[in-house]
């Protein structure tokens, strides 16, 4: 394998949001042997940079579910290869639906994440996924004006609530407006620009690097990893993966708590 594309939450990271020593060592050895590491995540570019810095590796990131493709060196963005922002009309429609459904929205820019809470009881999910955002509490009226004036644009809209039935309802409403969404976690429903997903971003990156998809191994655990696993030479599901991910994967590995990424990489490196 020449390239590994790895999801973060529920895959490379443990439940505390950290990379295990086993996973870190395996990735460093893969890099040392000439392999290319790509972190494919629903997280923002800022969070992906931090993980690369912790790993002390250079590589590529498919951040915000593939909306932001960049080369990372020494924990910093060396070059942005591609970025896709959501159409203003789509953002406004999605925010209106989130308001009616009464959920919290985290809207991601390149350097900041705007949080708008429409949830009446302010219930939030305490998880490492939430901790990765560079949050600024925002008011919808102010954002609406900035969107209208083309002052801001977003790579991703993330909707969350402790009551998952709200997210199911919101997804149905988004579909009626022909807005695609995917789950990155049971508590997180996400929207990107039309046609943007980890698989499309991985396809772009491999062409940029002149690497055949048959020489790519992709690791994931949630719905937003499906396209990436499907197009890769080896699509690998974590033991803790959602049933839909396990169904389409070529292989299953140990859970993220058991360094499942390293378990598979060691076979490639043997």
Lowest-pLDDT choice from 80-84, 89-93, 185-189: 185-189
Beta-carbon count within 10 A of 140 CB: 18
Q: What pLDDT shows up at residue 99?
A: 94
Q: What pLDDT shows up at residue 110?
A: 80
Q: Which of 159, 191, 223 is the last residue of a domain?
A: 191
246-269: average pLDDT: 94
pLDDT band at 128 (very low <50, low <70, confident <90, very high): low
- Helix/strand/coil for 235: strand
Same-domain status, 64 and 112: no
DSSP state of 72: E
245 contact partners, CB below 8 Å, separation of at least 6: 220, 221, 222, 223, 225, 226, 229, 237, 238
Q: Are 261 and 252 in contact (CB under 8 A)?
A: no
Residue 126 has pLDDT above 80, yes or no: no
CA distance 156 to 169: 19
The domain that contains 23 carries what CATH number? 3.40.50.1000
CA distance 256 to 11: 5
The domain that contains 182 carries what CATH number? 3.30.1240.10
Q: Is 0.85 surpassed by the pTM of this model?
A: yes
Same-domain status, 209 and 166: no
Q: What pLDDT shows up at residue 122?
A: 57
Residue 123 has pLDDT above 60, yes or no: no
Residue 260 has pLDDT above 60, yes or no: yes
List own/partner pairs for 137-143 with CB under 8 A and 24 or more apart: 138/107, 138/114, 140/95, 140/99, 140/116, 143/95, 143/107, 143/114, 143/116
Same-domain status, 118 and 180: yes
Same-domain status, 108 and 67: no
Same-domain status, 79 and 201: yes
Q: What pLDDT shows up at residue 125?
A: 57
Same-domain status, 182 and 211: no
Q: Write the pLDDT tens digit of every residue in 130-164.
A: 667 777 888 888 888 999 888 899 999 999 998 99
236-259: average pLDDT: 97
Q: Which of 191, 214, 230 is the last residue of a domain?
A: 191
Q: Which of 40, 42, 43 is nearest to 5 (CA)?
A: 40
Q: Are 221 and 238 in contact (CB under 8 A)?
A: yes
Query: Which residues constitute the domain of residue 230?
Result: 3-84+196-269
Q: Which of 260, 250, 198, 244 is nearest to 224 (CA)?
A: 198
pLDDT > 70 fraction of the chain, expressed in percent and rounded? 95
Same-domain status, 149 and 17: no
CA distance 62 to 169: 28
Helix (H) or strand (E) holding 99: helix 88-101
Q: Which of 136, 165, 191 is the last residue of a domain?
A: 191
**Average pLDDT value for the chain:** 92
CA distance 193 to 200: 12
Q: What pLDDT shows up at residue 121?
A: 56
Q: How far from the centroid of its chain's Cα atoms is residue 141's Cα?
A: 28
Residue 69 has pLDDT above 80, yes or no: yes
The residue with greater pLDDT, 132 or 226, is 226
Same-domain status, 95 and 185: yes
DSSP state of 232: S
Q: Write the pLDDT tens digit of every residue in 95-108.
A: 999 999 999 999 99
Tally of domains within the chain: 2
135 contact partners, CB below 8 Å, separation of at least 6: 106, 113, 114, 115
CA distance 251 to 240: 13
Same-domain status, 72 and 108: no
Same-domain status, 206 and 138: no
Same-domain status, 54 and 130: no
Same-domain status, 100 and 161: yes
């Amino acid at each position: 394998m020449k390239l590994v594309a790895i999801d973060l939450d529920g895959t490379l990271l443990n439940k505390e949001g950290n990379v295990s020593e086993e996973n870190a060592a395996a990735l460093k050895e893969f890099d040392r042997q000439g392999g290319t590491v790509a972190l494919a995540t629903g997280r923002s570019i800022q969070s992906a940079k931090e993980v690369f810095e912790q790993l002390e590796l250079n590589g590529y990131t498919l951040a915000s579910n593939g909306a932001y493709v960049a080369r990372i060196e020494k924990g910093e963005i060396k070059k942005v290869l591609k970025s896709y922002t959501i159409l203003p009309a789509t953002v406004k429609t999605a925010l209106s639906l989130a308001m009616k459904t009464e959920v919290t929205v985290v809207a991601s820019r390149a350097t900041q994440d705007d949080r708008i809470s429409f949830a009446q009881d302010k219930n939030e999910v305490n998880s490492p996924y939430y901790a990765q955002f560079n949050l600024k509490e925002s008011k919808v009226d102010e954002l609406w004006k900035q969107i209208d004036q083309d002052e801001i644009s977003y790579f991703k809209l993330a909707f969350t609530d402790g009551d998952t039935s709200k997210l199911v309802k919101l997804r149905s409403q988004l579909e009626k407006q022909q807005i695609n969404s995917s789950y990155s976690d049971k508590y997180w429903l996400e929207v990107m620009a039309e046609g943007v997903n980890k698989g499309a971003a991985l396809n772009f990156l491999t062409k940029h690097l002149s690497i055949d998809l048959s020489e790519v191994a992709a690791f994931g655990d949630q719905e937003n990893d499906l396209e990436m696993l499907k197009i890769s030479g080896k699509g690998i599901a974590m033991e803790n993966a959602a049933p839909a991910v396990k169904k389409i994967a070529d292989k299953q590995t140990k859970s993220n708590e058991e360094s499942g990424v390293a378990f598979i990489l060691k076979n490639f490196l043997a």
